[in-house]
Amino acid sequence: MVGGDVAAAVELSDVVVSYGEKTAVGGVSLSMPRGRVLALLGHNGAGKTSLLQVCEGFRRPDAGSARVLGLDPVGDHDELMPRLGIMLQSGGVYPWAAAGEILRLFASFAANPLDTGMLMDRLGLRKVERTRFRRLSGGEQQRLSLAVALVGRPELVFLDEPTAGMDTEARHTTWQLIEELRADGVSVLLTTHLLDEAERLADDVVIMKSGKIAATGTPASLTAAAGIDLLEVRADPGLDLLTLPFPAKEASPGEYSITGALDTRALADVLGWFAATGAHVTAVSSRRRTLEDVYLSLTSDLVGASQ
Amino acid sequence: MSAGTFSPAPGRAPMRTIIGKQIRMELLLTARRGEAVVLAMGVPLLVLLGAGLFEVTNLPTDDRLGFVVPGVLALTVMSTAFTGQAITTGYERSYGVLKRLGASPLTRPGLLLAKTAAVLVQIVLQVLVLGAVGFAVGWRPHGDQLLPAIAVTVLAAAGYSGLALLLASVLKPETTTGAATLIYVLMLSVGGIMFAAPDLGTAGWFLLPLAAHAEALRDTLLYDTSVPFAIWLSLGTWAVVFLTAAARNFRWE
């Protein structure tokens, strides 16, 4: 047996994917342990789907190597596929086939499939069981694709933008399902550009920008590394802020807001400055950066370029 | 829900089950598409009854049905194995269906086998129906050369399938549909179905596989003679060349 249980879910080293002159993925290395949820976060065109294509064996990397469950996604395609659950970004289903027929077809490919009725109930597909795929709404098509990805009881699932086109209710159902997958020991690699999705679901977040990894870590560590970026201090009004070594303003008399990357030392300096002026500080509050702030600051020049 | 609903238990069903289910789906979807059914049965039946029973064209023989029915059978094999399959596969690629199947326990040989088997099942059904209709209106073929007749039909179907899968792999689906329909109409007119094919000698059999196939079916079923070597060579070459090219160029995406 190649790739016993010790192999990582996904192991990429220096993966490069190019389309002609254009480099979609420019040297990405990452290791995804089993049993975790990893979110690839990035704008459209950041290289998320190209990376997923490599993991799914649809593309051989132009340089570098990929191992999935210890196997080569291209060379060991036939051995690997029954162990994976793959949700494509869109389509992938016969337009003339009914939702139930499609799910049962893919169930029949698996040795120990999930009960298709249970899966349809869980994903709210029961009422469209006899509806042909092309008549389903965008959200229903997405949920069917998710059901198809899960029906073979895979060890590792790849979900490309799993909640795209879903309404709020379906999105929450899907999130609960992904949390349940994780609880049951399924490894999940998903791409998203929704920060709340990544923050809620992911054990690990990989932020991609222009085909490279811009940052990686748990949602908590990513936001903690950035520290506090806003401090609000209530003190005597009319202090001269020019000597304070951080950008600051008096929003209203006696209400000061100080911005910047405020680590522990910086916080001590700020409060020390207030002490030095002899001001009476009556309230201090801080706001930590959210994943969204981190994401925007890391990817901002791409935003600038695309506008 | 109790915990463990999704606990991993991956595995592939027996390959025979997988391929069987895939064949069933392919046939079900073909039966559901109206234009596919018309192409598969309507056109051949119309040609069979029209040209077989009425003096609408000049034929090189007095036995109109004896000439037309083998031609219609050859046309049907082409419409199913080539035209229908090229169009279907082209659209399946553009819908992402092939990619989705590629991301499942169905392997590439499994898919190609299922597609081939589905085409063969359709051809058998079509030949049975057309043969029965022909017989009902007076077609009386010879039966001694049935085996070579079946063998050239399988060869022709293999070549058409190869060409269909090749086109669907290298062209856009709209282009595939256009090209496959054009070739169908072209073959219908000059392929020796309702009229004798243009006499291009042996070269014609290599250019017009439909004419070669129809000729072989007439040799066996109408004239009770053996199939000329040049026809075996032509259809064999078509099958080998296009199946190889299709296998080399087949793409899931």
Specify whether A94 is located in the same domain as A192: yes
A5 — pLDDT class (breaks 50, 70, 90): low
Q: Which two tokens stand for residue A171?
A: 């999105």
Do residue A72 and residue A168 come from a single domain? Answer: yes
pLDDT of residue B2: 45
The predicted pLDDT at position A92 comes to: 82
Range of the structural domain that residue A237 is part of: 227-288
Which pLDDT belongs to residue A227? 66
Query: Which residues on chain A are in Cβ contact (under 8 Å) with B103?
Result: 56, 58, 81, 84, 86, 88
In 3-state terms, what secondary structure has residue A65? strand
Question: Tell me, what's the pLDDT at A300?
Answer: 67
Give the tens place of pLDDT for each residue, A36-73.
Answer: 999 999 888 889 999 999 999 989 999 999 999 999 99
Q: Which is it for the CA torsion B208, B212, B213, B217, positive or negative?
A: positive
Residues A74 and A154 in one domain: yes
Same domain, A215 and A164: yes
Q: Which of A275-279, B116-120, B141-145, B191-195 has the lowest mean pLDDT?
A: B191-195
Q: How far apart are CA B190 and CA B181, in angstroms?
A: 14
Whole-number pLDDT of residue B1: 41
Least confident of A3-7, B40-44, B57-61, B225-229: A3-7
Question: Could you tell me if residue A157 is inside a domain?
Answer: yes
Residues in B closer than 8 angstroms to A154, CB to CB, are: 8, 10
User: Are A70 and A213 in a shared domain?
Assistant: yes
Same domain, A156 and A261: no
Of the candidates B95, B100, B106, the beta carbon closest to that of A95 is on: B95
Q: Does B25 touch chain A (CB under 8 A)?
A: yes
Name the closest residue on chain A to residue B7, using Cα atoms: A184
- Please tell me if residue B8 touches chain A, with a CB cutoff of 8 Å: yes
Residue A226, pLDDT score: 59
Does A280 lie in the same domain as A143?
no
What is the predicted pLDDT for the residue at B246? 87
Nearest to A97 among B7, B29, B105 (CB): B29
The whole-angstrom separation of Cα B75 and Cα B191 is 8
State which of A194, A223, A252 marks the end of a domain: A223
pLDDT for A202 equals: 94
- Per-residue pLDDT at B23: 96
**Is A162 contained in some domain?**
yes
In a domain, A47, yes or no: yes
Q: Using a CB-CB distance cutoff of 8 angstroms, which residues of chain A are in contact with residue B12?
A: 81-82, 109-111
Same domain, A85 and A189: yes
Q: Which pLDDT score, from 0 to 100, does residue B55 have?
A: 83
| A91 φ/ψ sector (left φ>0, alpha ψ -120 to 50, else beta) | left
A97 touches chain B (CB under 8 A): yes
pLDDT of residue B3: 54
The CATH number covering residue A191 comes to 3.40.50.300
What pLDDT is recorded for position B121? Answer: 93
Please indicate, yes or no, whether residues A136 and A81 belong to a single structural domain of this protein: yes
| A95: closest chain B residue by CA | B95
A212 and A116 assigned to the same domain: yes
Is A14 within a domain?
yes
Name the residue of chain A whose CA is nearest to B5's CA.
A184
A143 and A269 fall within a common domain: no
Residue with tokens 């054990």: A203
Provide the pLDDT confidence category of residue A193 given band limits of 50, 70 and 90: confident
Minimum mean pLDDT range among A50-64, A67-81, B51-65: B51-65
Work out the number of other CB atoms within 10 angstroms of the CB of residue B58: 8
Q: Does residue A150 register a pLDDT over 80?
A: yes
CB contact under 8 A, A86 and B103: yes
What pLDDT is stored for residue A111 in this prediction?
96
Q: Mean of the pLDDT values across residues A180-202?
A: 92
- Choose between A291 and B74: higher pLDDT: B74
Range A107-135 average pLDDT: 95
Q: At what angle do helices B85-94 and B173-190 cross, to 10 degrees?
A: 180
**pLDDT confidence bin for A303, thresholds 50/70/90:** very low
For B71, B202, B216, the CA distances from B188, given in Å and listed in that order, are: 9, 19, 17
Q: Tokens representing B231?
A: 């026809």
CA distances from B186 to A92, B127, B152 (A): 33, 22, 21
**Among A181-185, A195-199, A250-254, B186-190, which range has the highest average pLDDT?**
A181-185
Note whether B13 contacts A108, CB cutoff 8 Å.
yes
Is the predicted pLDDT of residue B54 greater than 70, yes or no? yes
Identity of residue A236: D
pLDDT at B11 exceeding the cut of 60: yes
Which CATH number belongs to the domain containing residue A250 in this structure?
3.30.70
Tell whether A5 is within 8 A of chain B (Cβ).
Answer: no
pLDDT band at A302; cut points 50, 70, 90: very low
Asked whether residue A100 carries a pLDDT value surpassing 70, the answer given is yes
Contacts within 8 Å (CB) and 24+ apart, B224-231: B224/B142, B224/B144, B224/B145, B225/B145, B226/B145, B226/B148, B227/B145, B227/B148, B227/B152, B230/B202, B230/B205, B231/B152, B231/B205
**Range picked from A144-148, A239-243, B42-46 for highest mean pLDDT:** A144-148
Q: Quote the ipTM score.
A: 0.86
Spatial distance between the Cα atoms of B41 and B142, rounded to a whole number of angstroms? 24
| C-alpha to C-alpha distance for B32 and A148, rounded to whole angstroms | 22
Q: Give the helix ranges, DSSP H, for chain B.
A: 15-32, 34-37, 43-53, 64-78, 85-94, 97-102, 108-136, 146-170, 173-190, 202-207, 209-221, 229-249
What is the rounded average pLDDT for all residues in chain A? Answer: 88
Q: Do A169 and A251 share a structural domain?
A: no
CA separation (Å) from A235 to A265, A288, B84, B225? 20, 21, 80, 110
d(CA A140, CA A263): 46
Mention every residue, 6+ apart, whose C-beta is less than 8 A from residue B181: B83, B87
Sheet holding A255-262, edge to edge: A248-252, A255-262, A228-234, A283-288
Give the closest residue to A57 by CA, choosing from A22, A15, A6.
A15
pTM: 0.83
In the structure, what pLDDT confidence band is assigned to residue B34 with cuts at 50, 70 and 90? confident
Residue B132, chain A, CB below 8 Å: the answer is: no
Percent of chain B residues past pLDDT 70, beyond the cut? 97
**Range with the poorest average pLDDT among A147-151, A160-164, A221-225:** A221-225
A208: enclosing H helix or E strand: strand A204-209
Percent of chain B, pLDDT > 90? 49
Q: Which of A88, A122, A150 is closest, CB to CB, to B99?
A: A88
Mean pLDDT of all residues in A221-248: 82
> Rounded to a whole number, what is the distance in Å from the CA of B96 to chain A's nearest CA?
4
Chain B hits for A83, CB-CB cut-off 8 Å, are 8, 10
For chain A, how many structural domains are there in total? 2
Q: Which residues of A touch B106 (CB under 8 A)?
A: 109
Give ∠ CA B113-A91-B166 in degrees, rounded to 5. Answer: 40
pLDDT at A231 over 90: no
pLDDT band at A2 (very low <50, low <70, confident <90, very high): very low
